[in-house]
Amino acid sequence: MQSSSRTSTRFRSAAVAALVGLLAFFAGPGSAQAEPTAADTAVGDVTGFSADGSVYHLRAGTAEARVSFVSEETFRLELAPGGTFTDPTGTDIVLPQGTPPRTHWKDRGDRYELSTAKVTLRAYKSPLRFALFRADGSQVWAESKPLSWSADTTTQTLARGADEQFYGAGMQNGRGNTSHRGQTVEVGVDGNWDDGGHPNSVPFYLSSAGYGVYRNTYAPNTYAFDDPVTASAEEQRFDAYYFAGKSSKDVIGQYTKLTGKPFMPPIYGLENGDADCYLHNANRGERHTLDALKIADGFVDNDMPNGWMLVNDGYGCGYENLAETSKGLGERNTKLGLWTQDGIANLAQQVKDGQRVAKLDVAWVGGGYKFALDGCKDAYKGIEDNSDARGFTWAPESWAGAQRCGVQWSGDQSGSWDFIRWQIPTYAGSTMSGLAYTTSDVDGIFGGSPKTYTRDLQWKSFLPAMITMDGWAASDKQPYRQGEPYVSINRKYLKLKESLLPYMYSYAHEANTTGVGPVRPLALEYPDDPTAATDAAKYEFLTGEDFLVAPVYQDSATRDGIYLPKGTWIDYWSGRTYQGPTTVNGYSAPLDTLPLFVKAGASVPMWPGIRSYADRTANSPLAWDVYPQGTSSFDLYEDDGVTRQHRDGKYATQRAEVDAPRTGAGDVTMRIGASKGNFQGKQSTRPYQFTVHTGDAPQQVELGGRKLPQFNSLAAYDKASQGWFYDRDDRGGVVKVKTASLRTDTPFEVKLKDAAAVGGAHPGAAATLAVAPGQELGAGVAGKVAVDVTAGNSDATGAGVTLTAPAGWSVTPSAAVGRIPAGTTRRVEVAVTPAKDATPGDTALGAVVRYRSAGQDRTATQQFGASVMPEPPTADTWASDLAWLKSTNGYGPAERDRSNGESGAADGHTLTLAGTTYTKGIGTHADSDIEVYLGGRCTALTADVGIDDEINGYGEVAFSVEADGKVLWTSPKVTGASAAVPVDVKLDGARHVHLKVTDTNGSKTGDHGDWAGAKFSCS
């Protein structure tokens, strides 16, 4: 595809022209690489000193430094090379901080010491250099050189500790959740929304040595975390705030106390949002704003959560019938949002008509970070000034302070495996700069595929903010558009996100209180674990303290390199336990399975079974998902979810406490405290449900000291209003408990007598299952799946294995294995016949073994993927007529019997190579991979390959044919001016064949690779 015929953002020609000028102004002076200058000037010896309360002045010739203490652990350091202090940010970013702390100073001869009760800043006299110490005398940081300046830059140089790690700098695409040590990080708008870009930059970084630095400026910054560390801003003034804390969380808290705590979103802001243009959409034909209601109906009809909709998201898109649209969306439990391409001059009336979400854009934000920050604040305030709702904005480019008024997202991107990969560290890394709500469009706004969409949606369901963008790709990208099995999987994760709203909302309250966002790098929760700072933990993150998410970012049904830190971790889907620190390789992750782990000790509040927060009624249950280990607790936060009354104290908290053995057998006690506080709509009574992961059945269950009835079947339990049931088939064995409606202002206690901590009364007794990847089954053909059963530290007896499979499949359970000795593995084959109409490709199945071990009847499960193969060809067959097991493509879909077109299917042209046209063949765009299944029945592949004539000489690629893991043929480099290259490859015995086109010059411009006349000789 020629670069002129596609764009990586939603900007079109007029917008792009305007944006170029805006970005140049937006970045400010020096946004490009500065020209070499003469040696920097360093501050000299101290020539004067004065103190004024908590403010100190140190003169060094014509330069002057000023130290202003804000709190006992926070102070501001300024340097004016010419002796005159300036403050371009004014009151834009730093909030009023109240009365300064008491300070004192001493002249130690070689230095002045400026002290609070907790820290001392040393100002060495010759030359003027600064170093920070705690009250116990330990050093926090020290300058290895004096502050210096050039015509347009000021730089601080700090000594780097032997093991010191660095984080922050805002949203850094592709990095940030692991250490910046040894890297150079840029802070400033660069217009790059891809890997390596840095939208939503923040001039703040923190160190594992227990401090953070906020550079109080609108100028671009560069932080080189080498030895020594150099931190520069492109202005001839130095202005920085320093925070000394007990932990990184403490430092983030001090920084956000200074610049603003993350805002408290409305509850619908934590639900999925959807965006498109519904007025005169050039990509979709004539339609109107009220057509958005049909899309909202699609979410309802497909039982999929959706909290809000942007109805005008597209350049040049307006709206009509706004109040009527808002009313209709409200009837579907969906809030109205607008994209503010044209600014916010009409925001007041729009909010009165029902707007509750404002998405900002760089095309109108204007020149400079101040304008961007003001836009965020003004849109936020506009919603609150004209309704009783909370401000809720989204922004693609922002600066320090934006956390207090909006969500930051990483820009317009294209759906692909690579985008999933580098987005994983981006958002958790942003938390280290106080950005609590960061995300991007599910599967991008261009490109993508049903598989990348589903994989992307899975893990983004564990981000607090989430959006799907529909109208810029070849077809609409709502989560119910992809067909099965994708729709069912998307529903599963959207509803899981919905059920976890009380957990996420409680962490949103924590962010609003402490500054620490819900999505976290491992290094934030495990600062003493050296592995957490490294790339070993780069492609995973924590949601809250309890969930560890390790997304699949390759076209694979397994995930390697999942690092689990110290503690006991439980596979969310199977109940299998792992003892950290450990690295899990070969984790079975078929398409419907996100690698997800829960930390032992977790008590997770949930709202079961809802599609929208508005589905909750006065009688709705509160569920607790409990993983008992030792003593643990969780503080549930609740308010009305929509209005600002919580700011006036109208909210409630309720603590869940769990006492359990550290390991093995014992009682498990769950104490649910009284709900303290009040708000409109608060439940005065409610039923409770508990799912307690014990791995063994208790002797009895008590509520307030009275025995609850036990049920012998799940069906009987479901019908009852109160009681308990031990479900051996659910995730390794869970105790399910429910109560009748109880008063929320009264504490109560549920006790499981003679139960166990997570992992069971006999830890390690549970068996585990493994299914080798790559097992193949034929549609409608009897086959077998090999399942390995490994006994734990006790023998497994009577082990019978079966499979869970889609409707229409036939499964014959294996005969029971009499005994599997402790620690040994037995392979069992299960007979299975896929449905005749089973869709070729990967299918998610489940292996189930029921057995007895350590005196208990037990069940172990394992999800896995099997490949359903289409019927192989029995005669000569065109490659374009076969089913494709894989069809990855560099841009848009690969085309059958047409050249690669734009982003839609069948929008290419006649295949043409060197003046010859072809009626059959495959049109691709590098890098591409077409996989077909031949089943060993074909002997050769013939074709002509080259870059399609429509490219007019552009492009440079290479073609290759691979079979069963071996490269059979590779072309020379082919350009747009090359003659067609003939292909004649022997395939005797080949089962899987890949036709690949690879870019060879680092540019994807014009890389339209044609497999013209591609034909398999088969029998």
User: Out of 416-430, 474-488, 889-903, 916-930, which region has the weakest mean confidence (pLDDT)?
Assistant: 889-903
The residue that leads in pLDDT, 994 or 773, is 994
φ, ψ for residue 379, nearest 5 deg: -65, -40
Read off the pLDDT band of 252 (50, 70, 90): very high
> Mean pLDDT over residues 265-282, rounded?
94
pLDDT at 1005: 80
SS (H, E, C) 467-502: EEECCCCCCCCCCCCCCCCHHHHHHHHHHHHHHCHH
CB under 8 Å to 997, separation ≥6 — which residues? 924, 925, 926, 927, 928, 957, 958, 959, 1007, 1009
Q: How far apart are CA 732 and CA 139, in angstroms?
A: 50
Stretch 964-973: mean pLDDT, rounded? Answer: 96
Predicted local distance difference test score (pLDDT) of residue 369: 74
DSSP state of 312: B
CB atoms within 10 A of CB 184: 11
Asked if residue 32 has pLDDT above 50, the reply is: no
User: How confident is the model over 379-406, as a mean pLDDT?
Assistant: 94
Rounded distance, CA 83 to CA 78, Å?
A: 11
Residue 25 has pLDDT above 80, yes or no: no
User: What is the rounded distance in angstroms from the CA atom of residue 174 to the CA atom of residue 423?
Assistant: 6
Contact indicator for 812, 830 with CB cutoff of 8 Å: yes
- The pLDDT assigned to 17 comes to 32
Q: Which of 437, 126, 413, 421 is nearest to 262 (CA)?
A: 437
Whole-structure pTM value? 0.91
Mean pLDDT of 160-176: 97
Percent of the chain topping pLDDT 70: 95
For residue 106, count other CB atoms closer than 10 A to its CB. 11
Residue 546 has pLDDT above 60, yes or no: yes
d(CA 338, CA 351): 10
For residue 904, the model assigns a pLDDT of 66
Averaged pLDDT for residues 904-918: 89
The pLDDT assigned to 374 comes to 87
pLDDT of residue 892: 81
Q: What is the pLDDT of residue 633?
A: 98
The whole-angstrom separation of Cα 634 and Cα 657 is 7
pLDDT for res 28:
36
Where residue 1 falls among pLDDT bands split at 50, 70, 90?
very low
Q: How far apart are alpha carbons 798 and 793 in whole angstroms? A: 16
Q: Containing H/E element for 252? A: helix 248-259
Cα(313)–Cα(363) distance, rounded to whole angstroms? Answer: 13
| E strands present in 150-237 | 154-158, 166-170, 184-187, 201-207, 211-215, 221-224, 229-233
Report which secondary-structure segment, H or E, holds 309: strand 308-310
pLDDT surpassing 50 at residue 801: yes
Whether pLDDT at 10 is above 50? no
Contact 114, 121 (CB under 8 A): yes
Confidence (pLDDT) at 362 = 61
**Tokens 């249950």 -> residue:** 621
pLDDT of residue 907: 82
Residue 3: what pLDDT? 29
Judged against a pLDDT cut of 60, whether residue 29 lies above it is answered with no
Question: How far is 518 from 545, CA to CA, in rounded Å?
Answer: 8
* Comparison of pLDDT for 221 and 365, the residue scoring more: 221
How confident is the model over 285-299, as pLDDT tens digits?
789 999 999 999 999
What is residue 16's predicted lDDT score, i.e. its pLDDT? 33
Neighbours of 577 (CB within 10 A): 23
pLDDT at 6: 28
Q: Is the pLDDT of residue 9 over 70?
A: no
* Mean pLDDT rounded to a whole number for the chain: 93
Range in 224-238, 504-518, 642-656, 896-910 the model is least confident about: 896-910
pLDDT tens digits, one per residue of 970-1009: 999 999 999 999 999 999 889 999 999 999 998 878 899 9
pLDDT at residue 1002 in the model: 87
CA distances from 913 to 551, 889, 924, 978 (A): 41, 20, 13, 9
